Structure 1
């Protein structure tokens, strides 16, 4: 729960305005996931009051644990892009208000159970709480506050019910993927959700985008007809458990179990047990499996994997599509490159180029590398070029890897041979240039927080050129803290292992690499670079030159197109969404699709 507080810091830094919460906004969002987590929280409040009134502590604790799971593993996971501002400022505000309202509510509820962590969270939340919200009493500690009363109008059992169905579908899908050893990163064609109640299936379709994203499937199909897919339940005995208990009746019971029909097995699963020849047998004592029957049984069995709980039955199409196989090969290439980098003791910020040569001709691997070149370069943070284009750069390491029986020669050389592939779908932006705005690289000499593994980033000192956005030593520390989440108390800046004076003009740091330490008497690592770590796009318009940093920290993922246009609008103080061109004459419109933003790295576009 504590790490969720970083979203409020991010909003203030990215949007340049203070986030301030007041309780009157609670429940105003129309987003279904916002309404769900608020409804669940208010239902929990109602339960806490009723159970604690009769001292049933044992009934409260499991629900508090369930709340933490719902908030962290469901709400925040499903709404991370909204909370980061990728879907626009207003939508981000609604998500932040929702997150704050449930955190603020629950720290007061959980304070008697977990006094220290709730106090820490409360002190952080209190920083952005609108003055007067809690009245005139002592608000210096969460333990001075009363547990809030539930707001009945915010409780929506219907929304809680169909999000619960969504959770069942997602968890069943994850189980099947684990069972057949297909990671979530590999796309699958279809998931079929089967239930007799059309209303529940309608609820599933309302939330199908969440299912598609979480399970990485292209299509969500619903059906009330289990027979259409030929899915039946079968059971057999667990001899290890029942053998000694049944003794002489083992064979007769085994025969009855083998003849159980689909409905009988389903009824047993619902009730938890079944009586056979006078013996009460628990459902867990039988091995229950799904199988396919009918004329298409063999075809369906080869295509689908089935699984169910007491809510729904799902069929996951695990047929290895060509797209899945292609992406798998591309990931194999990434894996080999990363292994070679590790073998050469390279760190993510080292400027190197990978050259490749496929010894066999006319192989699928050649097509895959060409098709997924953008993905490979993005994942490895390294230009990846054919060996035929290799320059005279000094070789660091080379090796030959085998991928699906094909020999792939990889050579890593010092320096970037050129920027990563600049192609876009329509028009060509102005060629490769240096970054327009003054910048400084940041290296964290320590462990990053906020869910990132990267320790490198790039900060712009001016944006647009001539308009300072960072003015002081302390501001650099605060910006770096917003990215990496390190403690500020003992943090310091260093250049070439020498401490930077806090009064040093930030302009003197332009183009340099600054190392941040936060441990007392820490000796910083020695590192430097002549180019920004993070990828960027130069922007020109209205007589100004600016820049958009596409990722921060480095390797944390390229921003969305919507976020990109929003930043451009902010840089040039535009009143509407900007139109972007590839040429200075503004005749060729820039069209981007998919992940094409990465292809603009190091180039200049115009607005």
Structure 2
């Protein structure tokens, strides 16, 4: 303290709050171990966890206030996303409860972070259209009840570690609609895992799909193709028959996530990429000394694809040189993947995602239409329109963009809640934006219908 190199606790509390400080201390390292500490590290809790959870809560409240759903009790789900989320939620309850009973602070908190991340980036994002529907059918009600159950359960699970945030969520989600509920989240019953909702096979399948989608996005980035630009196809190589079946089962999910027209299996991983191998002299030379040249020659004489397959499956490469056998590990050989022409490829172990990057005129037009929709949605926000407000739209656009808008008019009007679309100069009272993208020029104005 006398050296002035400490972090004043009250400075952290005043900036970030007690909940963020507690959560950082509970999730960073096991109790009793040394840890780095700074106000910025505590702030990361808010950016990476608290705001994510609050944004999911805000999404639910925004649409619930519009639709006023009545039935928020979960019944047997039929939608795959609902089934998956409820399965993961009950696994979370089971595991967090066990961790608290065993005084395992890391496993009582870190799994909640992972669940909230997937709740936001997978469930809510993939379910948005269900909340946007104009009708109040069974599917929309199921989405509301599933998300409500997840939020109220998470509020109870974080209550010991983040009492203030948990209380805020509980009061707004539970007490505001049920005056007979316990007065505080800290007086409510602890959640009980419902084993009938847990489907470990479904959980594994969805984790696989999320992993493949992530690889697909990595491949798209390598090709410098925008997410809104549709591509012709995505093909995958996986390990087991069960994983190949999962790709077929969830092809529509993968297609939607990656914005591709077709999803299929690679005939072989070599259809889209090849591998090169390079024995690493520093590692192998230090380990084997003057035997290294013979080992290097033997490795380079082997089939590079077989070497890559061995290392990707977690195996050890058996090499014979000068009548001796050596077990070579993956850290001793550099394996590089090279995408074949027309493909963008990302690889992780035995998993390969390959996107066809060639663009047809029809795909380019659809990409322009999607870029146009994004700009209209941003303009809606800037005009402070309600999410349910319908609009009239006025457009001045260059020839290529106008053609794309005309070809995808139904998609555009549906996505932007447009009652009337006109190619005309925006009136003075309209909210207007001008932009240039992909070699096209745009001026669009909108007014509330």
How far is the alpha carbon of 1:73 from its aligned partner? 0.8
The structure 1 residue matched to 2:70, chosen from 16, 19, 35, is 19
1:303 partnered with 2:346? no
1:533 partnered with 2:447? yes
The 8 Å contact of residues 39 and 156 in structure 1, kept in 2 or not, is answered as yes
The structure 1 residue matched to 2:268, chosen from 206, 226, 246, is 226
How far is the alpha carbon of 1:65 from its aligned partner? 1.7
1:179 partnered with 2:231? no
- When residues 316 and 409 of structure 1 are mapped into structure 2, their CA distance, relative to the original with a 3 A threshold, is closer
The 8 Å contact of residues 57 and 151 in structure 2, kept in 1 or not, is answered as no
Q: Distance in 2 between matches of 1:146 and 1:348?
A: 44
The structure 2 residue matched to 1:325, chosen from 364, 369, 373, is 364
How far is the alpha carbon of 1:111 from its aligned partner? 1.5
Which position in structure 1 is the counterpart of 2:253? Answer: 210
The 8 Å contact of residues 353 and 384 in structure 1, kept in 2 or not, is answered as yes
Q: Distance in 2 between matches of 1:79 and 1:400?
A: 30
SS in 2 for 1:124: helix
- When residues 402 and 282 of structure 1 are mapped into structure 2, their CA distance, relative to the original with a 3 A threshold, is same
Q: TM-score, normalised by structure 2?
A: 0.67
The structure 1 residue matched to 2:152, chosen from 101, 104, 117, is 104
1:366 partnered with 2:385? no
The structure 2 residue matched to 1:36, chosen from 69, 81, 84, is 84
Which position in structure 1 is the counterpart of 2:26? Answer: none
Listed one character per residue, the Cα deviations across residues 175-208 of structure 1 (whole Å, up to 9, x for unaligned) are: 1011111111000001112235333222222222
The 8 Å contact of residues 343 and 357 in structure 2, kept in 1 or not, is answered as yes
Which position in structure 1 is the counterpart of 2:205? Answer: 162
Which position in structure 2 is the counterpart of 1:436? Answer: none
- When residues 269 and 113 of structure 1 are mapped into structure 2, their CA distance, relative to the original with a 3 A threshold, is farther
Residues 574-589 of structure 1 aligned to structure 2 (within 5 Å):
none
The 8 Å contact of residues 27 and 35 in structure 1, kept in 2 or not, is answered as no
1:82 partnered with 2:82? no
Which position in structure 1 is the counterpart of 2:354? Answer: 315
Q: Distance in 2 between matches of 1:53 and 1:152?
A: 19
SS in 1 for 2:341: helix
Listed one character per residue, the Cα deviations across residues 2-58 of structure 1 (whole Å, up to 9, x for unaligned) are: 22234554455434x45353xxx3242211110111111111222223333332223
How far is the alpha carbon of 1:231 from its aligned partner? 4.8
SS in 1 for 2:264: strand
How far is the alpha carbon of 1:68 from its aligned partner? 1.2
Q: Distance in 2 between matches of 1:305 and 1:274?
A: 28
Alpha-carbon RMSD across the aligned residues, in angstroms, is: 4.5
Listed one character per residue, the Cα deviations across residues 477-511 of structure 1 (whole Å, up to 9, x for unaligned) are: xxxxxxxxxxxxxxxxxxxxxxxxxxxxxxxxxxx
113-122 vs 251-260, which moves further = 251-260
The 8 Å contact of residues 187 and 323 in structure 1, kept in 2 or not, is answered as no
How far is the alpha carbon of 1:102 from its aligned partner? 1.5
Which position in structure 2 is the counterpart of 1:290? Answer: 337
1:148 partnered with 2:199? no
Q: TM-score, normalised by structure 1?
A: 0.51
Q: Distance in 2 between matches of 1:316 and 1:46?
A: 39
1:2 partnered with 2:41? no
Task: Work out which of the two has the higher radius of gyration on C-alpha atoms and give 1 or 2.
Answer: 1
The 8 Å contact of residues 48 and 60 in structure 1, kept in 2 or not, is answered as yes
- When residues 6 and 403 of structure 1 are mapped into structure 2, their CA distance, relative to the original with a 3 A threshold, is closer
Listed one character per residue, the Cα deviations across residues 352-398 of structure 1 (whole Å, up to 9, x for unaligned) are: 97756xxxxxxxx7355334358799799998859xxx8999xxxxx
Q: Distance in 2 between matches of 1:99 and 1:325?
A: 36
Q: Distance in 1 between matches of 2:281 and 2:216?
A: 29
Q: Distance in 2 between matches of 1:56 and 1:108?
A: 17
Which position in structure 1 is the counterpart of 2:115? Answer: 67
SS in 2 for 1:372: helix
The structure 2 residue matched to 1:55, chosen from 103, 117, 128, is 103
The 8 Å contact of residues 230 and 261 in structure 2, kept in 1 or not, is answered as yes
Q: Which has the higher contact order (CA 8 A, sep 6+)?
A: 2
How far is the alpha carbon of 1:119 from its aligned partner? 1.9
Q: Distance in 1 between matches of 2:279 and 2:218?
A: 23
SS in 1 for 2:196: helix
- When residues 181 and 286 of structure 1 are mapped into structure 2, their CA distance, relative to the original with a 3 A threshold, is farther
- When residues 238 and 130 of structure 1 are mapped into structure 2, their CA distance, relative to the original with a 3 A threshold, is farther
Q: Distance in 2 between matches of 1:192 and 1:264?
A: 22
Which position in structure 1 is the counterpart of 2:32? Answer: none
Aligned residues: 373
The 8 Å contact of residues 172 and 314 in structure 1, kept in 2 or not, is answered as yes
How far is the alpha carbon of 1:246 from its aligned partner? 7.5
Q: Distance in 2 between matches of 1:117 and 1:392?
A: 46
Structure 1: unaligned runs, 5 residues or longer: 293-300, 342-346, 357-364, 394-398, 417-531, 537-607
The 8 Å contact of residues 395 and 426 in structure 2, kept in 1 or not, is answered as no
SS in 1 for 2:248: helix
How far is the alpha carbon of 1:313 from its aligned partner? 2.5
SS in 2 for 1:271: coil
